[in-house]
Amino acid sequence: MISILLLLLFIFSALSVPVCEGVISGLYLFGIKVFPGLFISFILTGMLVRILEYKGTKSIVILVLAGIMTGFPNGAYICSWYKKNNPDSRFTDRLAGLINIPSPAFLISYVYINILERKISLVIFLLVTYIPVILCSIILLLKYNHKQRNEKNLSQNLNFRKLFKIFEESVNASVETTLKLGVYIILFSVIISIMQCIPIKGFINKMLAGSLEISNGLCIIKQSDLPYIFRLSAIVFLDAFGGICTIMQTKCVCGQYISIKKYICQKMILCIVTQIILILTYVLKLI
């Protein structure tokens, strides 16, 4: 551990300029473009998850919808919560990678407005992103839902005091979650800034850097000189994949209950289906 810290200090000293540039870039990206659209979403997500836990909800359909609406890493967290309470379930091992995707708040406030700059229809963009998730989830529901045990869950009434407590816990957790997200964004901004100093240039460098973290990766795609349709394809691909940073977050939060190997395989399947849907919309001249 000491050797690793000394190595990191050496890298920081030798590459202080790109490191500082990465920190500044990450702070700007997080504070100006990412945080405003996600903070309220995290509060609502926290309340939703806590209410689901409090009510003992085991409806898989609700879990799928909640995962789609809350975004990563909360989609995977919902699956890990279900797996924790249903250890015999095979469904969530195959679902986490599908519903652990960007929330509508992130897609609209950051991707659609800042990256795509409203150049395509918002409805088409959301459909291209979420139809693959819904299709794959339906296939899993048909295959595995009949194997789940139907247990009667104890449901408790929620009064104002309990709801207010849930709200307070959600606000506190949202602050912690957004700060952690900011740390990840800044850390990967620094890595990307260092990578740009490496002699490997061109498409390979951009592809490697863009795959690390979704927010920075989307900026790299936007600034590239690729034709518009290829940039759009790369954007929806990264939205579905989430980046290596998201995999690390998922491993940290859900590693005990979710198989990361299966998670990555699910992400690859989702990316392929998303590209097929995008091609269909392009052939039909919807974009």
Burial 37-60 (b: 16+ CB within 10 A, else e): bbbebbbebbbbbbbbeeeebbeb
Find the largest Cα–Cα distance for the chain.
Answer: 62
Q: Supply the pLDDT for residue 204.
A: 63
Confidence of residue 7 (pLDDT cuts 50, 70, 90): low
Closest CA to 90 of 137, 134, 147: 147
Tell me the two tokens of residue 218.
Answer: 């989307």
Average pLDDT, the chain: 79
Round to whole Å and give the CA distance between 87 and 91: 10
Q: Is 36 within 8 Å of 109 (Cβ atoms)?
A: yes
Closest CA to 218 of 248, 181, 243, 253: 243
Q: Supply the pLDDT for residue 164.
A: 84
Q: Supply the pLDDT for residue 199.
A: 59
Q: What is the dihedral of CA 106, 112, 115, 119, to 10 degrees?
A: 180
Round to whole Å and give the CA distance between 267 and 255: 16
Mean per-residue pLDDT, 15-43: 76
- DSSP secondary structure string for all residues of 109-175: IIIIIIISTT-S-HHHHHHHHHHHHHHHHHHHHHHHGGGS---PPP-----HHHHHHHHHHHHHHHH
Confidence of residue 14 (pLDDT cuts 50, 70, 90): low
> pLDDT, tens digit, for every residue of 99-136?
888 888 888 888 999 899 898 999 999 999 999 999 99
The pTM of this model reads 0.77
